Amino acid sequence: MSDVARLTPTLTAPRMGTVGTAVGGLLLLGTASALGTGYLDIAVRTLPSAIIIAMGAAALTSPALLVAHQLMALKAPPEHVVAALGQGVVRLGSLCAGLTPFIAFFALTSGLAPILYALVLVAACLLASLSTVRALATLEQHANTQITAGPAMAVLGAVWVGLTGLVALRLAVAVFAAVV
């Protein structure tokens, strides 16, 4: 045992400008996909689809994560959980902004843009959710002063990622049914 105090992670909620940039990344991805539609009315409806799906899933499942976190008596403070969720949204928007040229290329050169758009959006949401769960597990690990976060955090993370995926899928079906 050493006399050195254990470092705790400092996680702060993202600034509004950073969240605005993340939303801009989602809008860019929808815009890139809209380029290949060929019809103005479909393009206009495609523009906000990434924002509706990703932010809708986050907004509908985040309260469940917070409540379950408190009911399971996990140790990380709720404000750190909210900060981790905010960081996940920022990661999602940054990833979508980075993948925009990929979707724009396929939208302008082939008819594969809608399929690739859906795949990229699902993959980006999955990666952002897993990144958020990893941040939550790290926070829980440091709050418990244990080597691992424990099975409760693993179960909560897996259930939340699954719930978020199902909600995003349902929103995607509704949005794309309205687009086409």
Best mean pLDDT range from 40-54, 93-107, 115-129, 149-163: 93-107
Mean pLDDT, residues 11-17 taken together: 78
pLDDT in tens, 102-138: 999 988 888 787 888 888 888 888 888 888 999 888 8
* Structural domains of the chain, count: 1
Residue 6: inside a domain: no
Residue 10: inside a domain: no
Residue 127: inside a domain: yes
Contacts 24+ apart (CB under 8 A), 35-41: 35/104, 35/107, 35/108, 35/113, 36/106, 36/107, 36/108, 36/110, 36/111, 36/113, 36/114, 37/113
Residue 11: inside a domain: no
Q: Which domain holds residue 155?
A: 16-179
Residue 5: inside a domain: no
Whether 5 has a pLDDT exceeding 50, the answer reads no
